[in-house]
Amino acid sequence: MSNPSCLTIVRTLEDMQQHRSQWTSQGQRVALVPTMGNLHEGHFSLVKLARERADRVVVSIFVNPLQFAQGEDFEHYPRTLEQDTLALTLLGVDLVFAPDASVIYPDSLSMANEVAQTTTIVAPPSLAGILCGANRPGHFTGVTTIVGKLFHLVEPDMAIFGQKDYQQVAIIRQMVKDLNWSIEVITAPTTRAPDGLALSSRNQYLTNKQRFVAPRIYQTLLSMADRLMDGERNFVKLVKQATEALKSSGFGQIDYIDIRHPDTLRPSLATDQRWVLLMAARLGNTRLIDNLVVEADGLS
Ligand code: PAF
């Protein structure tokens, strides 16, 4: 592995491709960590993993309008490029790819719904219709389109995603397989605050009171896991109890609580020995997601 060098910030496709060609000619392995910026310890853990595995680490920072539905927080999503690049310099990242929307969607306008109506898209697999996809129509089309573009532009040997977005990683894995890309998709474990809350840029939208309640989502996952490990197989009952637990702690709308197969995301069968528990619920206007993979004989 080469020594970490100075961080370069690249804003155009041409510059990105020029760096990539140079690394290709040097036979270097490249890891991509796609992000929307506003980086926190969760992102840093992905970067550290990338740094361990590859010769060159590229972090993309792009708030992708196409993956926000109308009425979501695209306009208000925190943009902190200066702070992000400073942190990435300290982590030994080689290159930050931070294009403007006009570079990524050249003939489209930058508003989420306008891009969605005008640009060519990468249609996600049917997995995109369940869970988060059922609550956020068009979201995963936005994700597969931007991740497909980034893969095309950066040509990474590997790409690192966080397990917090479990369905997103499953969809990207399938896209890579279906489109015959030779990119290794690596899932990094969820980084949590000491009280268990999964780190997310959206946590900063929470009021102090909501922040106090938010870890309940992880506690509820843990108690569902305990019940499964104790032999409970009545999934409907488990979901009902978890829904009641979240509601009584102050969560508003529960988008979903589900128990599925960790590899395929199909609904669980009574004979399964492994499960992924997935939740999306709202505290005020903030939507939180989390998940936990459970095996009959322990958490993994
Ligand atoms: O997980 C995210 O931050 C985004 O969905 C991603 C993968 C960077 C695509 O915009």
What CATH number does the domain containing 232 carry?
3.30.1300.10
Which residues have CB under 8 Å from 183's CB, separation 6+? Answer: 151, 156, 157, 158, 159, 176
Q: How many domains does the chain have?
A: 2
In terms of domains, do 161 and 55 share one?
A: yes
In terms of domains, do 220 and 174 share one?
A: no
Residue located nearest, by CA, to atom 3 of ligand 1: 35
Between β-strands 56-61 and 30-35, what pairing exists: parallel, antiparallel or unpaired?
Answer: parallel
Positions of the chain with pLDDT under 50? 1-4
Structure confidence at residue 5 (pLDDT)? 59
For the segment 261-278, what is each residue's pLDDT rounded down to a tens digit? 999 999 999 899 999 999
- Alpha-carbon torsion (189, 191, 194, 199), positive or negative: negative
In terms of domains, do 114 and 55 share one?
A: yes
For the segment 135-176, what is each residue's pLDDT rounded down to a tens digit? 999 999 999 999 999 999 999 999 999 999 999 999 999 999
In terms of domains, do 151 and 14 share one?
A: yes
- Residue showing tokens 């609904």: 267
Structure confidence at residue 118 (pLDDT)? 83
Structure confidence at residue 1 (pLDDT)? 44
In terms of domains, do 27 and 156 share one?
A: yes
In terms of domains, do 97 and 246 share one?
A: no
Structure confidence at residue 156 (pLDDT)? 98
User: Whole-angstrom Cα distance, residue 287 to residue 103?
Assistant: 29
Closest CA relative to residue 188, chosen from 220, 226, 162: 162
Which domain, by its residues, includes 133?
4-188
For residue 52, tell me if it sits in a domain.
yes
For residue 196, tell me if it sits in a domain.
no
Q: Looking at the annotation, which residues are catalytic? A: 43
Residue located nearest, by CA, to atom 1 of ligand 1: 35
For residue 129, tell me if it sits in a domain.
yes
Percent of the chain whose pLDDT exceeds 70: 96
In terms of domains, do 157 and 107 share one?
A: yes
In terms of domains, do 169 and 251 share one?
A: no
In terms of domains, do 90 and 22 share one?
A: yes
In terms of domains, do 222 and 257 share one?
A: yes
Residue 281 DSSP label: E
Structure confidence at residue 300 (pLDDT)? 67
DSSP 92-113: T--EEE---HHHHSTTS-SSHH
Q: Which of 132, 140, 146 to mutate to test the pocket of ligand 1 (most atoms within 8 A of CB)?
A: 146
In terms of domains, do 258 and 126 share one?
A: no
Residue 289 CA, ligand 1 centroid: distance in Å: 14
For residue 195, tell me if it sits in a domain.
no
Helix (H) or strand (E) run with residue 135 in it: helix 132-135
Domain endpoint, select from 167, 188, 209: 188
Domain endpoint, select from 125, 153, 188: 188
What CATH number does the domain containing 55 carry?
3.40.50.620
What is the rounded (10 degree) CA torsion for 251, 255, 258, 260? Answer: -140
Q: Which of 33, 66, 67, 136 to mutate to test the pocket of ligand 1 (most atoms within 8 A of CB)?
A: 67
Residue 34 CA, ligand 1 centroid: distance in Å: 6
User: Whole-angstrom Cα distance, residue 98 to residue 163?
Assistant: 23
- Residue showing tokens 């060098």: 5
Contact (CB, 8 A) for 101 and 65: yes
